[in-house]
Structure 1
Amino acid sequence: MEDWSPLLDAIQWPAMLATVAASWLVTSLNKGRRHTGFWLFLLSNALWVVWGFHTQAWALLVLQFCLAAMNIRGARKNDTADA
C-alpha cells in the first residue's frame, strides 16, 4: 500500500494559497473576479476538508462546511448583483 501521507500533508499549501487568492478576488469591484473568487474559495474549502480528514482536525472540517455554505450564498448573491 502506498503512503499518501506526504502528499496529503502538502495539501495545506495549495489550500492556503487558494484561500488567500480567493480573499483577494472576492473584494474586487469586478463581478467576474468576485465570481471567480467564490469558486476559488469553494476549491480551498474542499482542499481544507481533505487535509482536515487526514489530520483529524474535526473543528476545521466543521468550519470548512460552514464557510462553504457562506461561499455558496455569496456566489448566489453575486450572481444577482447589478455591479
Structure 2
Amino acid sequence: MDLIDWVQWPAMVVTVISAWFIGSQRPRRRMIAFWGFILSNALWVVWGWHSNAFGLIVLECILLGMNARGFMKNQRSNQASR
C-alpha cells in the first residue's frame, strides 16, 4: 500500500465527523462541519487522482460546490440572527 493510499482513511474520518456536526442546532458546529466537508473533499480528490478514480473526483468537486453553498447560507443565517 502506497503512502498516498492512506489518505482515504483521514478523508473518511473527517467526512463522518462532519456529517455528525452538520445536524447540530448550533451554528458554530455547522460551520465546523462545512469546513470539515471541504477538507474531506480535498482529501478525496487527492486520493482519487492517485487512484485514477475520475468519477470520484467529479463527485467531490460537485459536493465541494454544494458545501460552499451551505457554508455561505449558514454564514448569512448566523449574521441575520445576531
TM-score (normalised: structure 2): 0.92
2:59 is the alignment partner of 1:55: no
Unmatched runs of 5 consecutive residues or more in structure 1: none
Runs of 4+ aligned residues of structure 1 deviating over 6 Å after TM superposition are none
The answer for the alignment partner of 1:16 in structure 2 is: 12
Give, in whole Å, the separation in 2 of the partners of 1:69 and 1:17.
Answer: 20
After TM superposition, list the pairs within 5 Å mapping 1:66-81 onto structure 2.
Answer: 66-81=62-77
Backbone CA RMSD of aligned residues: 1.3
> Could you report, residue by residue, the CA deviation over 1:39-63 in whole angstroms, capped at 9, with x for unpaired residues?
0000000000000000000000000
Please state how far the C-alpha of 1:6 moved relative to its aligned partner. 1.7
- Give 5+ residue unaligned stretches, structure 2: none
Letter in 1 for 2:4: L
Equivalent pairs counted in the alignment come to 79
Does 1:37 find its partner at 2:61?
no
Q: Percent identity?
A: 48
Amino acid in the other structure paired with 2:30: R
3-state SS, counterpart of residue 11 of structure 1: helix
